[in-house]
Amino acid sequence: MRCGDSGGGACTGMNRRRALASIGALGVGPVHAARAQKPHRMRPQVDDVLVHAFGERAGVPIVAEEVAAAPLNAFPKAPDGVVRDGSLHNQLLLLRVEEEAMTSRTQRYASGPFVAYSASCTHTGCEVSGWLPDERNLVCPCHGSRFDIADAARVALGPAPRPLAMLPIEKTGELFRVAGTFSRRVGPEPL
C-alpha cells in the first residue's frame, strides 16, 4: 500500500517515523541530549553540596541548623561552583524527620534525621510546595496530591501515581552532600 491509497492511516505512521529519523539524522535529535549535559541542567552528582534555592541566600550552602520540619528548597551545587538549577528535576525539598517515625526505606536515603525529596510531582510535574505539618505531608498545589515524608514520600492522597523521588544525602560537618542517585524516576512518566 502506498500513501495515496485508501487506508493511508498506516502510511501516516510510516511517514512520521521517517520524518523523525530524518530529523535525528540532521543532528537535531542530539540537541536535547547536549542541553541536558550543560552543568546547570545535569542531575545531582555525588559530592554536590545542597544550597539554598531561592531568596537572599540562594546558592549558599545549607547548614544543618537551618533545616527544620518544614521543607527547605534546595539545589545541588557542583564542587566547581555550578548550581544545578536549570531544571525543576533538580529542585529538592530538604527536611528534618524524627528518625523513630521513619520507615526503613526512608532511613536508607536519609542522613540521620535529614531527608531530601524531589520537588517535582509524579502526577504532572508541578512543583510540590505545600506543607501540612500535622500530617507530615508535602502537598502539590496543582491537583492536591499529598506525600508522607516519613514513609519515603508514599502517596497519602492522589492523583499522583507514585511517591516522590528521594535523593540519598550525607551530612558532612554541617553541610549536606549528594551520596547517590535518585531512588526512582523524577517527576511524571513520559507520555
At 151 the pLDDT is: 97
pLDDT per residue rounded down to tens, the chain (191 residues): 344 444 444 443 434 444 444 444 444 444 444 444 788 999 999 999 999 999 999 999 999 999 987 899 999 999 999 999 998 889 999 999 999 999 999 999 999 999 999 999 999 999 999 999 999 999 999 999 999 999 999 999 989 999 999 999 999 999 999 999 999 999 998 87
**b (16+ CB within 10 A) / e for 70-106:** ebbbbbbbbeeebbbbbbbbbbbbbbbbeeeebeeeb
At 69 the pLDDT is: 77
Per-residue cell: 135: 500530617
